[in-house]
């Protein structure tokens, strides 16, 4: 089915660049607050346009994508043996309960249970 038939236009090169810049900004500022205004400036488009592009191209709005990045980073830290509170701080969540809510929603386990299941054993 062609993009014209579905009513969805294919993303232009500039739109792909804007999304890439926004994603790079998110990764670079993972530990701190990432505001939509900052993200739009980094991407070189308006904030409403950026939100629309993200949803169309990645299937979720920028905030949801940022949460996915943070949970993925927290999973890496937990698998390396970090405590959930430390993983929450390092991944940019405001507190451990915030990590717990999103982690359970996206992974299906609590961060502590994930750590117990997936933690690399320390060599003695």
Q: How far apart are CA 74 and CA 1, in angstroms?
A: 39
- pLDDT, residue 123, reads 43
Degrees to nearest 5, angle at CA 93 with 55 and 73: 75
Q: Is the dihedral of CA 44, 47, 48, 53 positive or negative?
A: positive
What percent of the chain clears pLDDT 90, i.e. is strictly above it? Answer: 80
> What's the pLDDT at 13?
82
* 35-70 residue pLDDT tens: 999 999 999 999 999 999 999 999 999 999 999 999
Tabulate helix, strand, coil % of the chain (nearest 5): 70, 0, 30
Tokens 């607050």 correspond to 33
Domains and CATH numbers, the chain: 11-59 (1.10.10), 66-118 (1.10.10.60)
Two tokens at 112?
A: 């502590």
- Would you tell me the crossing angle of helices 111-118 and 96-107 to the nearest 10 degrees? 70
Q: Categorize the per-residue pLDDT at 10 as very low, low, confident or very high, splitting at 50, 70 and 90.
A: low
Per-residue pLDDT tens over the stretch 66-118: 999 999 999 999 999 999 999 999 999 999 999 999 999 999 999 999 999 88
At residue 6, the pLDDT reads 40
Collapsing DSSP to helix, strand or coil, 82 comes out as coil
Q: What percent of the chain has pLDDT over 70?
A: 87
The answer to whether the CB of 53 falls within 8 A of the CB of 45 is yes
Is residue 56 within 8 Å of 48, Cβ to Cβ?
A: no
Instruction: Specify the pLDDT at position 3.
Output: 44
- The mean of the pLDDT values for the chain is 87
pLDDT-derived band at 16 (thresholds 50, 70, 90) equals: confident
Length of the chain (residues): 124
2-30 mean pLDDT: 75
């Amino acid at each position: 089915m062609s993009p014209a038939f579905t009513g969805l236009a294919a993303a232009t090169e500039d739109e792909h660049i804007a999304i890439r810049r926004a994603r790079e900004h998110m990764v670079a500022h993972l530990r701190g607050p990432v505001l939509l205004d900052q993200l739009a400036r980094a991407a070189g488009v308006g904030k409403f346009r950026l939100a629309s592009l993200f949803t169309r191209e990645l299937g979720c709005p920028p905030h949801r994508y940022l949460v996915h990045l943070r949970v993925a980073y927290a999973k890496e830290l937990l698998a390396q043996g970090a405590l959930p509170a430390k993983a929450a701080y390092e991944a940019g969540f405001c507190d451990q309960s915030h990590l717990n809510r999103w982690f359970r929603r996206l992974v299906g386990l609590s961060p502590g249970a994930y750590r117990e299941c997936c933690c690399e054993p320390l060599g003695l």
